[in-house]
Amino acid sequence: MIEKITFDGVVQGKKILILGAVHGNETAGPNALFKVIDDIQSYRINLKRGCVTFVPICNLIAYQKDVRQVDENLNRVIKHHDNPITYEQKIANEISSLIEQNDILLDLHSTHCQGDVPFVFCDYPTSDNLKLIEAIDVDYVLLGWPQIYSGHADITDYSTERYAHDCHKSGVTLECGYHKEPKATDVAYNAVLNVLKQYGMIDGISHISHCKTNIYLTEFIIKRKNGRLCQNYKHLDRILKGQKIAQYDDGEVLTASQDGYILLPNGSAEIGTEWYYLGTQNK
């Protein structure tokens, strides 16, 4: 059973669900949510409208072990499982019920490399989701996730965002920067407060300092055998057409097919999982 806490405002309003540690080693979300919960319980923040439910730690066992997952990637199995087998499928059943009970989802994640730039995923750019993203103070929005997964029958992408969309709810995923960077907790904390302000749930106006750049995902690469990334890439590093990105131990080299960006590089990816993504500013 996942632990959650719900706060109700005096006046009716939106119902918001905010998740942390869907991936166990992504601690920025839990750190920020414990802080917001304490702010509300100590009356430093007054929830005046609507209803907010926090799940600071979705994947508890992975969080306790400081690993991404126990049996499988929780953010690829978010739906109802009639006969849940893995640990993550059992959690997915609880999370999908919570998503159904709320109007808006904010899912807080973080990324693998020191210096990673925060960004928000907008898998479904509906007007409701764009309103939600408006409140989040990051420089980059990543689009096109469902499209790059649609051609891969062997990999499912049942994410929290997808489940929210399938249930006609708003939902976005915020990647707050590198897991262990204290700044990532600040990004998560500010985003939570700004989102609550955006829907009139707490006092204040969300202050956003800059315009966002849209990056369109073009493909992802599954690590098929032993190998390594050719550089110590960070998320959103620029790459050039023909640039060597990765090399397998048997000598096979993977290159970029166009100018653009490397996204979410995971130097310690397991074989059979996503190694890195590529994207461009051009739609």
Nearer to Zn ion, 15 or 23 (CB): 23
Binding test (CB under 5 A) with Zn ion, winner from 14, 15, 23, 49: 23
> Parallel, antiparallel, or unpaired for β 227-229 and 260-263?
unpaired
Nearer to Zn ion, 69 or 198 (CB): 69
Stretch that binds Zn ion, among 78-86, 104-112, 147-155, 244-252 (CB under 5 A): 104-112
We find the least distance from the C-beta atom of residue 73 to Zn ion, in angstroms, to be 9
> What is residue 245's DSSP assignment?
E
Other residues' Cβ atoms within 10 Å of the Cβ of residue 59: 28
Do the beta carbons of residue 47 and residue 86 sit within 8 Å? Answer: no
Nearer to Zn ion, 50 or 177 (CB): 177
Using the structure block, give the residue that is written with the tokens 């915020």: 174
Using the structure block, give the residue that is written with the tokens 């719900």: 6
Nearer to Zn ion, 23 or 169 (CB): 23
Entry field: residues in the chain: 283
Do the beta carbons of residue 160 and residue 88 sit within 8 Å? Answer: no
Stretch that binds Zn ion, among 103-111, 186-194, 218-226, 271-279 (CB under 5 A): 103-111
Burial class (CB in 10 A: 0-12, 13-18, 19+), 153: exposed
Do the beta carbons of residue 59 and residue 88 sit within 8 Å? Answer: yes
Q: Does 179 bind Zn ion (CB under 5 A)?
A: no
Nearer to Zn ion, 129 or 266 (CB): 266
Stretch that binds Zn ion, among 18-26, 98-106, 134-142, 159-167 (CB under 5 A): 18-26
Stretch that binds Zn ion, among 4-12, 25-33, 155-163, 204-212 (CB under 5 A): 25-33
We find the least distance from the C-beta atom of residue 93 to Zn ion, in angstroms, to be 19
We find the least distance from the C-beta atom of residue 133 to Zn ion, in angstroms, to be 18
Residue 260 β-bridge partners: 239
Cα three-residue angle 241-242-246, rounded to 5 degrees? 115
Stretch that binds Zn ion, among 39-47, 82-90, 106-114, 247-255 (CB under 5 A): 106-114
Residue ranges of the alpha helices (H) in 47-142? 60-65, 87-101, 127-134
We find the least distance from the C-beta atom of residue 127 to Zn ion, in angstroms, to be 26
Q: Given 3-state DSSP classes, what are the helix, strand and coil percentages for the chain, each rounded to the nearest 5?
A: 25, 30, 45
Nearer to Zn ion, 23 or 49 (CB): 23
Q: CA-to-CA distance for 185 and 177, rounded, in angstroms?
A: 9
Number of residues that bind Zn ion (CB under 5 A): 3
Q: Does 112 bind Zn ion (CB under 5 A)?
A: no
Restricting to residues 26-55, which ones interact with Zn ion according to CB under 5 A? 26
Q: Does 109 bind Zn ion (CB under 5 A)?
A: yes
Residues in the site for Zn ion, rule: CB under 5 A? 23, 26, 109
